[in-house]
Structure 1
Amino acid sequence: MTQIIAHRGYSAQFAENTMNSFIEAEKAGADGIELDVQLTKDGEIVVIHDEKVDRTTSGKGFVKGFLFKEIRKLNANTKGFKKEPIPSLIEVLEWMQTNRLVCNIELKNGLIPYEGMEEKVIELVSSYGLSDRIIISSFNHYSIVYCYRLAPEIETAPLFIEGIYMPWIYCKSIRAKGIHPKHSTVSDEIIKTSIDNGVAVRPYTVNKELHMHRLFKLDCTAFITDDPVKALRIRKQYEKRP
């Protein structure tokens, strides 16, 4: 059955990439969460999507320009009254020891080449014993190849916007076990053939019912959505079928 991965947590209802958003995704029944990581000025791994803090927090400036103690003072809750800090990856991984969720960690190193990010993420994942529940993805495919070399036991998956020709062959060439394509640029045939060739397919960001139905009918490996509750409601219709 197609897994449902909550994009930046349950971001349709709660502030994205916050602990509350992740906790609510788990409560809703999502199979996993997706989050983004970057490095602070002093090398701490923090969970935030944009290279700048401006859109999602009370602050202004580049993530890499803040010390960890400074970035923690910002309010990452733009959807409610309660103040919430930007989480550290440590915080998320500690919480993951209390559940069975999978977690897709996206390395946000396409624009800013954060030195040492791969090593730091892998060291943390390994130290919490979560190697079998993590998927590392990035638009920077050199980075995920490097991750595979550092820790072949952790699954990697390239992210891409455009269609890639025969992605299952590309995947095997970089030792990735899955692909994370933009849902609107990947055809039914590509999804089916990739899965038939042993490559997991987890399209992003799937929010419309029509698109969810399409992927459930194809028995797609998983998809990434802002609204896990809607996705779970639709999945029930397929679970009832013989």
Structure 2
Amino acid sequence: MQEKIFFNILTIFISRFQLFLTDSVLVDIEVYLFKHCLFSYFFIGSPLNAPENTLASFDQAKKEGVDLIEFDVGFTKDFVPVLMHDDDLDRTTNMNGPLNKFNFVELEKCNCAAKFSSMGNQDFTSNFEPICTLENLIEWSIKNNVKMLFDVKDTEIKLVKLIALLFERYNLYNKAIVCSFFPTVVYRVKKENPNILTGITWRRWFITYDDIEFTVPRSSSKLIFFISMILDVIWIWCVKLWIPEFLGVDMVLTERREISPFYLKNMTARGFKVCAWTVNERNEMAWMSRELKIPFLTDAPYIASHVLKNVNAEKN
């Protein structure tokens, strides 16, 4: 992971320099939808009420009043884009192993509901939920008039080109935004088609730790751990000062603990929409909606809907 991120950043610098030499004209794009809209909250489906990254989850989220759904995109062995949060199938399905080691036809028996247990206020009764393809989800979103946030975890150039193709085929320019932790992904997407809205996602200690609680180091080597921490400090500084401009992104998706009035003021002054993730606590939702007036990603849309009703009632 450490080497992957370093290579990503180095590649961007080289590509950006080449682009500057060959083409200094930037395309003006209309970003009204995400820069000036009044979206209240975004969703990762409704994963507490239905299996994550499935159509059942998005159906449930739609019932709970979604503005936009966020989903994770990965590749199968035969390069079919599907929805899956992890690199492997172990945590959420009845199968084991890396997603990219299976052809799509082999995933027909993959049950995304195999390990699901409802923790929300709705009962999920289905015993089988198939793996969802990206194209199926796009068609569902258009049919249900729901905006989309592509969370891209695969750095394959093929995926970037496919996303650009799907944006053109389905005319998604005012319906979706592409985001990633990996700067090369959003940079390549914007370079492939400047009209696609992009966002950089970040959190503290992403290079060093595999989890947001900072308990699982990505490497057992003390030397690599130390180098990773240095890279993390540099990366955070870069994100806060100049990386969003450098990548040409339209949105900065920020881990909830990094959100503050000062941070928001800084990003807003530079022309970026800020979205917080992942906000599941009622008081925090109210603070971000009432005081900061920013959108947020949540796993609990049914809680968010109640919070926002109260916030809107206060305005009236």
- When normalised by structure 1's length, the TM-score is 0.92
Counterpart in 2 of 1:21? 57
Asked if the contact 1:2–1:216 (Cα under 8 Å) also holds between the matched residues in 2, the reply is: no
Contact kept? 1:202, 1:220, Cα under 8 Å = no
Alignment-derived partner of residue 102 in structure 1:
147
Query: What is the letter of the counterpart of residue 206 of structure 1?
Result: V
Within the candidate set 54, 71, 90, 2:107 is matched to: 71
- The sequence identity of aligned pairs, in percent, is 26
Question: Contact (CA 8 Å) 2:39, 2:67: kept in 1 or not?
Answer: no
Aligned residues: 238
CA displacement at 1:219 relative to structure 2: 3.7
Q: Give the 3-state SS of the residue equivalent to 1:202 in structure 2.
A: strand
- The DSSP-based 3-state class of the residue aligned with 2:296 is strand
Alignment match, 1:151: 193
- The one-letter code of the counterpart of 2:70 is E
Residue in 2 that maps onto 1:232? 305
Give CA deviations for 1:126-177 in whole Å, capped at 9, x if unaligned.
2112121111111101110110011111111001002556737432221101
**Match of residue 169, structure 2, among 108, 127, 135:** 127
Q: Quick one: which amino acid aligns to residue 102 of structure 1?
A: K
State the SS of the aligned residue for 2:41.
Answer: strand
Residue of structure 2 equivalent to 1:117: 159
Structure 1 stretches lacking a partner, 5+ long:
none
Structure 2 residue 260 is matched with structure 1 residue 187: yes
2:182 aligned partner: 140
Letter in 2 for 1:15: P
Question: How much is the aligned-residue C-alpha RMSD, in angstroms?
Answer: 1.7
TM-score by length of 2: 0.71
Please point out which of 53, 64, 83 is paired with 2:89.
53
Q: In structure 2, what is the Cα distance between the partners aligned to 1:83 and 1:225?
A: 24
1:17-49 deviation per Cα after TM superposition (whole angstroms, max 9, x unaligned):
000101111121110100000100001000000
